[in-house]
Amino acid sequence: MDKKLLTPGPLTTSITTKEAMLHDWGSRDQKFIDLNQSILESLVKLIDGEDSYQCVPMQGSGTFAVESMISSLTPKDAKILILINGAYGHRMKKMCSYLNRECIAYEVAEHEQHKISEVEKIIDTNKGLTHVFAVYCETTSGILNPIQEIADLVERKRLSLFVDAMSAFGALPFSSKHIKFDAVAASSNKCLEGVPGVGFILVQNNVIENAKGNSHSLSLDLYDQWQAMEKNKQWRFTPPTHVLAAFYQAIKEHKKEGGIKGRYERYSNNCKIICDGMKEMGFEQLLPDEIQAPIIITFKQPQNSNFNFQQFYDALSKKNFLIYPGKLTVADTFRIGCIGNLDEKDMRDAIQAVKEVMQELQIRIK
């Protein structure tokens, strides 16, 4: 009886996904090669990218995938605009600084979307920009960024769009038929409900083909990883075999649920139950519903002297629910995730657990 993870990842996974890790795989064996190939093909299909995109996996957590996307797919003389409204936008900026890529940022508050007209103005006044980086769902607050509008503008301006879709991929729409982008990074252990350990980058054919020599790092070199896998379908270095076996199973279950649409519906329902239940108790949700992604919800800590986040966390943990601390710079908050292999009963149980904890700790919200 594991605790339920109301977090942005790693997440609660299905028993069958966990069971998929009970075998040992030879990394050069045909069975494993086929499994690996099937994962890559499924991920390309999820963006309707069969004709024009490649999927290149990268070992490590999601950050490794983002860093390998940036370092391998931007030339050394790239000039990048980063749209920041939370920690993950900031992280991309930090990567650019490590990688010596010139960048400017358009930063807005963590609870606000970027203004498209402002993005346009920045592009027009900063001649020579080559790339725009955006985060789809900024997990810092749970805000849904307007990726379609951003992509439309970037396409109109003939720049390259790179997206960190880590916490959205597999649950929020992201078809290459509608959204024009050069590359997107995501990982196994968020909305696709695998276990952590591998990320992946979906990249346009011509972008990966021209990526030779960009990367400063051998292990993060996406071009080298792609070339090697093109040659013999094998990983260059030890692959996370068990993680990939679990990922294969998780992708099968994603498909069975109805793909992106099915998952979106379950998460939206989960999100609504959490938001309604918390608001009924008097908690204040940071974001208005229109810009709240059904992934993770930020609540303000109540102004009550009995409220202490660690106590609240521990009491919920005793009832088998793990929530997440806040990450906002502007207010004291905490977060409740609604993704992972959890359904509406789990969400109702979570709300009931919060109610009981509020009584036990004598926290009243007026």
- The residue ranges that bind ligand PLP (CB under 6 A) are 8-9, 61-63, 66, 88, 135, 139, 164, 166-167, 187
Three-state SS string across 194-218, please? CCCCEEEEEEEHHHHHCCCCCCCCC
In whole angstroms, how close is the CB of 275 to ligand PLP at the nearest point?
Answer: 19
Cβ nearer to ligand PLP, comparing 7 with 36? 7
Distance between CA 220 and CA 231 in Å, rounded?
18
Cβ nearer to ligand PLP, comparing 139 with 160? 139
Return the residue nearest ligand PLP (CB atom).
Answer: 62
Contacts of 310 (CB under 8 A, 6+ apart): none
In whole angstroms, how close is the CB of 112 to ligand PLP at the nearest point?
Answer: 17
Cβ nearer to ligand PLP, comparing 36 with 189? 189
Q: Exposed, middle or buried: residue 70 (CB in 10 Å: 0-12, 13-18, 19+)?
A: buried
Strands 333-337 and 296-300, bridge-based pairing: antiparallel
Cβ nearer to ligand PLP, comparing 162 with 307? 162
Cβ nearer to ligand PLP, comparing 33 with 201? 201
Cβ nearer to ligand PLP, comparing 196 with 302? 196
Distance between CA 293 and CA 14 in Å, rounded?
23
In whole angstroms, how close is the CB of 310 to ligand PLP at the nearest point?
Answer: 22
In whole angstroms, how close is the CB of 260 to ligand PLP at the nearest point?
Answer: 17
In whole angstroms, how close is the CB of 253 to ligand PLP at the nearest point?
Answer: 20
Cβ nearer to ligand PLP, comparing 153 with 166? 166
Asked if 39 contacts 248 with a C-beta cutoff of 8 angstroms, the reply is: yes
Mutual angle of helices 259-280 and 241-256, in 10-degree steps? 80
Cβ nearer to ligand PLP, comparing 341 with 353? 341
In whole angstroms, how close is the CB of 79 to ligand PLP at the nearest point?
Answer: 22
In whole angstroms, how close is the CB of 141 to ligand PLP at the nearest point?
Answer: 11
In whole angstroms, how close is the CB of 155 to ligand PLP at the nearest point?
Answer: 22
The CB density around residue 117, as the number of other CB atoms within 10 Å, is: 9
Instruction: Mark 185-206 as b/e (b = at least 16 C-beta within 10 Å).
Output: bbbbbbbbbbbbbbbbbbbbee
Q: Where are the beta strands (DSSP E) in the chain?
A: 4-5, 53-59, 79-84, 102-107, 131-135, 137-138, 143-144, 160-164, 183-187, 198-204, 296-300, 321-322, 324-325, 333-337
What DSSP string describes 4-61? EE-SSSS----HHHHHTTSS---TTSHHHHHHHHHHHHHHHHHTT-TTTEEEEEEESS
In whole angstroms, how close is the CB of 195 to ligand PLP at the nearest point?
Answer: 12
Determine which helix (DSSP H) or strand (DSSP E) holds 93, and give its type and residue range: helix 87-98
Cβ nearer to ligand PLP, comparing 89 with 302? 89
Cβ nearer to ligand PLP, comparing 101 with 307? 101
In whole angstroms, how close is the CB of 249 to ligand PLP at the nearest point?
Answer: 20
Using alpha carbons, list the distances in angstroms from residue 322 to 196, 216, 294.
17, 39, 18
Asked if 65 contacts 163 with a C-beta cutoff of 8 angstroms, the reply is: no
